Amino acid sequence: MIQFEYVKPSTQKAAVNAVAKNANAQFIAGGTNLVDLMKRGVTAPQKLVDINGLPLKEIKKTPGHLYIGALALNSVVAGNNLVLQHQPLLAQALASGASPQLRNMATVGGNIMQRTRCSYFYDTVLPCNKREPGTGCSAIEGYNRMHAIFGSSLSCIAVHPSDMCVALATLEAVVMVSGPGGDRRIPFADFHRLPGETPHIDNNLQKGELIVAIEIPDNNLAKNIHYLKVRDRASYAFALVSVAAALQINNGTIEKARLAMGGVAHKPWRLFEAEKMLVGKEATMEHFKAAATLAMTGAKAFEHNTFKLKMAPNSIMEALRVAAGLEV
């Protein structure tokens, strides 16, 4: 790891300024992604701004929302009573990620900002448009088993690796940020980006902007929910495909449906069309199958990930089945 400067500001303003004013400065929270990337030379900030001195750990219920501070640990959020009571889907998704040790370090803000696990992105010897714009994408013609089936471009076919973010997409969370130009609120669907021609830009956060918290609007989606994660081993592995499903069912009829997938795109992949289709329908496997089929419109696989074209719709159906409480 190359040398860098380290500062630990005690105010939000000082932290924002420290990153806004230095082109090569970065925030560090749990360090579980950034320290790894720095050890491998994928990224080499000249200054680290440790935000752990800021009071951003709070989890509270406010009128209309559940508020979770950016520094709340993944393990703490997963076990928090307010989260379990109001947004258990988020707790499920968090508990399925990484390992107990990593969840004790990883923060909500860092989880949102974590970078792709594309192995070529990590291998500094090989071309990668995300790491070094303009060098090419080694995955398109390479080993692309983990890669995207939706929304990819000729520049990048990587996926966003987070589980938590898939649940936050389903729950329509809002990311609250504070930057040199003031505060703003970014709806989750607008936070992460598709790769397009600029795969080096993962999301719409601007230089110096700090994630302060997330807010999840009250939604009546605590009962019929399920986070399904399909992976190579039973635990401690990234998703091949994951689905966050939330339904509101009244007398067998679906009144509200929310769905998002992980492991399939450069951002948490919300299934808007399938959601629309389900509203007003009976919660049956037949309708879930139709929704899954609709959700796969436009999917495009590469040499080693064609299995996802089957795994994804099956996972959608299974997540909906469990969420609705239907027998196999």
Q: Which spans of this chain sit near another protein (rule: CB under 8 A)? A: 1-6, 21-24, 28, 30-32, 35-36, 38-41, 44, 46-48, 50, 52, 75, 98-102, 104-105, 124-125, 234-236
209, 154, 97, 232: CA torsion to nearest 10: -170
DSSP structure class, residue 137: B
Minimum separation from the CB atom of position 264 to ligand FAD (A): 14
d(CA 20, CA 281): 49
Query: Do 12 and 211 form a contact (C-beta atoms < 8 A)?
Result: no
Q: Which residue has the tokens 């594309």?
A: 118
d(CA 47, CA 28): 10
Q: Which of residues 209-228 bind ligand FAD (CB under 6 A)?
A: 210-211
Q: Does residue 263 belong to the site contacting ligand FAD (CB under 6 A)?
A: no
d(CA 99, CA 87): 21
Minimum separation from the CB atom of position 107 to ligand FAD (A): 4
> Per DSSP, what are the bridge partners of residue 61?
66
d(CA 206, CA 181): 10
Per-residue x/- marks for ligand SF4, 71-90, CB under 6 A?
Answer: --------------------
Q: Does residue 202 belong to the site contacting ligand FAD (CB under 6 A)?
A: no
Binds ligand FAD (CB under 6 A): choice among 72, 77, 86, 110: 110
Residue placing its CB nearer to another protein in the complex, 32 or 152:
32
Q: Does residue 42 belong to the site contacting ligand SF4 (CB under 6 A)?
A: no
Q: Is 237 exposed, middle or buried (0-12, 13-18, 19+ CB in 10 A)?
A: middle
**What value, to the nearest 5°, has the Cα angle with vertex 13 and ends 206 and 30?**
70
Query: Do 303 and 294 form a contact (C-beta atoms < 8 A)?
Result: no
**CA of residue 96 relative to chain centroid, distance:** 13
Instruction: Give the binding-site size for ligand SF4 (rule: CB under 6 A).
Output: 14
Q: Does residue 142 belong to the site contacting ligand FAD (CB under 6 A)?
A: no
Q: Residue 85 binds which one of another protein, ligand FAD, ligand SF4, none, with CB within 5 to 8 A depending on kind?
A: none
Q: Which of residues 154-213 bind ligand SF4 (CB under 6 A)?
A: 156-158, 199
Judged by the rule CB under 6 A, the positions of this chain that interact with ligand FAD are 26-34, 36, 51, 70, 97-98, 102, 105-107, 109-111, 113-114, 161-164, 210-211, 238
Judged by the rule CB under 6 A, the positions of this chain that interact with ligand SF4 are 116, 118, 120-121, 128-130, 137-139, 156-158, 199
